[in-house]
Structures are given as C-alpha cells and as structure tokens.
Structure 1
C-alpha cells in the first residue's frame, strides 16, 4: 500500500522515508491533502541498443538451414 505523507512530515522524516523507499515502498507526498509527488526507488534505465555492435562476432554456417541429420530429427518426433 502506498503511504501518503504531507510536506512537513516528509521534510521532518526524509531519511526514514528514504529507507522505506529503498526496500521498495512508494511514498506519495501531499500538500494540503492533494498528492504532489511520488518518492519511488531509483532504477537504472537499460542502455540503448545499437545495431551492428556484434558484427563479425557471430558466424552463421553455410549449412545453417540444411535439414537436420536423421538421428537428431527423430529426437524431435517423440
């Protein structure tokens, strides 16, 4: 459950609120009873993927799409 605190309480108990956020809790800070902000755990954004960075690291064999050998194909037909 999200805890709602007023601005004065948030300023007075900021360290305690941060400790609660650190373990995953979400805190809503309100001013005159109206929600104003959310205090949530910080999460790193994943780095943006750049196409082509693995170029020349992966080699696809000439026989990649050839039919499987009969002995291996039988294992998939059980």
Structure 2
C-alpha cells in the first residue's frame, strides 16, 4: 500500500482527518522540510483468544507441575 506523505504544518491543521484515514487502513508519513519524522498507521485489530484452540495438538505430562523439582532443589542445596 502506498504511503501518503504530509508536511507537518498540514498535519497539524488536518490531524482529525489524518487519524480517520489511518484508522481506515491508510499509512501516512509526516515530514518536516521533506524529511520523514513520523508514521501514522492503523492499530492492529485484536483477535479474540479462542479457548481450546490447541486441544489435541499438544499434550501436557501428568507430572507437569513437578518438572524440574530436582534441578531447582540442587540450585539451592548444592551438596
């Protein structure tokens, strides 16, 4: 997608419009004296978490909550 380049003075006077355009998916670069200073981009859309989406793809061992106990104990009691 092409980026729209706007100078800083114009961006100040049209900020509300530029934010609406960015929210609609457009990328806008704000420049001063032809030098890019900032980029106005749309926020990523949050996708809702789907509970159970990994069911059947992973397995959790029965002793999951005990994994590493011996190693942790050895760190604190190095006999």
State the TM-score, normalized to the length of structure 2.
0.54
Corresponding residue of 1:40:
41
Corresponding residue of 1:28:
29
Across the aligned residues of Structure 1 and Structure 2, the Cα RMSD in angstroms comes to 2.9
Cα distance per residue 1:19-77 (max 9 Å; x no partner): 1101100000001000111000112678xxxxxxx9xxx789xxxxxxxxxxxxxxxxx
State the TM-score, normalized to the length of structure 1.
0.54
> 2 CA distance for matches of 1:35 and 1:6?
9
Q: How many residue pairs were aligned? A: 50
Report the structure number with the largest CA radius of gyration: 1
> 1 CA distance for matches of 2:46 and 2:36?
26
The reply on whether 1:11 has 2:12 as its aligned counterpart is yes
Stretches of structure 1 that go unaligned for 5 or more consecutive residues are 47-53, 61-78
Q: Deviation above 6 Å: which 4+ runs of structure 1? A: none
